[in-house]
């Protein structure tokens, strides 16, 4: 019995990954942070996942809160035998989209919250899952980054900084956890229609530019990424460590 822990499981890449992993036989533990209005869609997702016959547990809690994480990890120890967490996916979208200058400029509080939720929170999940003996030999850590980690998009400054933190975190974890047989890779997805994308100021222009640049002639889908994560969970990907893997049809390198 193997489990994949998905931070940000209710929507976008996280939800697609939950579907893809459940389909191929993984149990799913999902963490998400949603208001009541989103519950019907989440119930539908849970029903779909349970219909695969796999064990599915979702927690509507803040993944960046220490007490919530401790509670969820304690529950995981009850649910999962040692070493049975095969994958940890960090796919949290919750950050400030304020510019660095001008009348609506980002505050320290917004900046630090964005860096924490979308960047460094991965460190503490990795620490706790490894220390609990849940993630061990053969384990995989993945984190969602974007072209915005090395490009300037209007209003994306705080998230861009968080992506730099996330990529550095992946690099460090890749080396520190390799002796334990755990690999870590960042996944750079192309522009993808999700609720998080629609919150970026001027996201229509981002979509237009991505469509014009992408040599594949379309946007990335959450399923493009989820299918690749399933491949990365397999034994053939055991030596893939410390990379930023583009899953974007060639969008990032196209002029």
Ligand X SMILES: NC(=O)c1ccc[n+]([C@@H]2O[C@H](COP(=O)([O-])OP(=O)(O)OC[C@H]3O[C@@H](n4cnc5c(N)ncnc54)[C@H](O)[C@@H]3O)[C@@H](O)[C@H]2O)c1
Residues 16-55, interacting with ligand X (CB under 6 A): 31-34
Closest separation in Å from C-beta 143 to ligand X: 8
Interface residue with ligand X, options 3, 52, 91, 184 (CB under 6 A)? 91
By the rule CB under 6 A, 189 interacts with ligand X: yes
139: which residues sit within 8 A by CB, 6+ positions away? 83, 85, 86, 87, 88, 129, 177, 180, 181, 182, 183
User: According to CB under 6 A, which one of 45, 117, 174, 233 is a site residue for ligand X?
Assistant: 117
Output the 3-class SS for 148-188.
HHCCCCCCCHHHHHHHHHHHHHHHHHHHHHHHHCCEEEEEE
Q: Which stretch binds ligand X (CB under 6 A): 107-115, 124-132, 172-180, 191-199?
A: 191-199
Maximum distance among all Cα pairs of the chain, rounded to whole angstroms = 53
Q: Which residue reads 């998905």 in tokens?
A: 6
User: Which range binds ligand X by CB under 6 A, 19-27, 79-87, 91-99, 150-158?
Assistant: 91-99
Lateral strand order in the sheet of 140-146:
56-60, 27-32, 3-7, 85-90, 140-146, 183-189, 244-247
Question: Contacting ligand X (CB under 6 A), which of 5, 191, 233, 245?
Answer: 191
| Nearest distance in Å: CB 93, ligand X | 4
* Buried-state track 125-154, b at ≥16 Cβ within 10 A, e below 16: bbebbbebebbbebbbbbbbbbbbbeeebe
Residue given tokens 């990954």 in the structure block: 17
Rounded Cα–Cα distance for residues 29 and 101 (Å): 40
8 binds ligand X (CB under 6 A): yes
Q: Is 119 in the site for ligand X (CB under 6 A)?
A: no
Our finding on whether 139 is near ligand X (CB under 6 A) is no
120 lines the binding site for ligand X (CB under 6 A): no
Q: Which of 96, 185, 192, 241 binds ligand X (CB under 6 A)?
A: 192
Among 64, 97, 141, 173, binds ligand X (CB under 6 A): 64
User: How many residues belong to the site for ligand X (CB under 6 A)?
Assistant: 29
Minimum distance between the CB of residue 7 and ligand X, rounded to whole angstroms? 6
Which residues contribute to the site for ligand X (CB under 6 A)? 8-14, 31-34, 62-64, 91-94, 117-118, 144, 146, 189, 191-192, 194-197
């Amino acid at each position: 019995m193997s489990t994949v822990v998905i931070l940000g499981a209710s929507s976008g890449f996280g939800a697609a990954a939950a579907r893809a992993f459940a389909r191929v036989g993984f149990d799913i533990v999902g963490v998400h942070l949603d208001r009541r209005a989103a519950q019907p869609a989440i119930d539908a997702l849970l029903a779909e996942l349970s219909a695969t016959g796999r064990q599915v547990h979702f927690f509507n809690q803040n993944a960046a809160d220490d007490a919530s994480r401790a509670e969820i990890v304690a529950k995981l120890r009850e649910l999962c035998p040692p070493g049975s967490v095969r994958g940890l996916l960090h796919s949290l979208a919750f950050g400030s989209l304020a510019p660095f200058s001008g009348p609506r400029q980002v505050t320290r509080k917004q900046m630090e919250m964005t860096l924490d939720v979308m960047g460094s929170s991965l460190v503490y999940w990795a620490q706790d899952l490894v220390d609990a003996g849940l993630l061990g030999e053969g384990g995989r850590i993945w984190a969602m980054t974007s072209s915005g980690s090395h490009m300037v998009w209007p209003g994306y400054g705080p998230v861009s900084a968080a992506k730099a933190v996330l990529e550095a975190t992946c690099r460090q974890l890749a080396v520190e956890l390799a002796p334990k047989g755990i690999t870590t890779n960042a996944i750079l997805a192309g522009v993808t229609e999700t609720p998080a994308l629609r919150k970026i100021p001027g996201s229509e222009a981002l979509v237009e530019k991505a469509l014009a640049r992408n040599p594949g002639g379309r946007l990335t889908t959450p399923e493009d990424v989820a299918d690749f994560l399933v491949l990365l969970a397999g034994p053939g990907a055991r030596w893939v460590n410390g990379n930023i893997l583009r899953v974007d049809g060639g969008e990032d390198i196209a002029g």
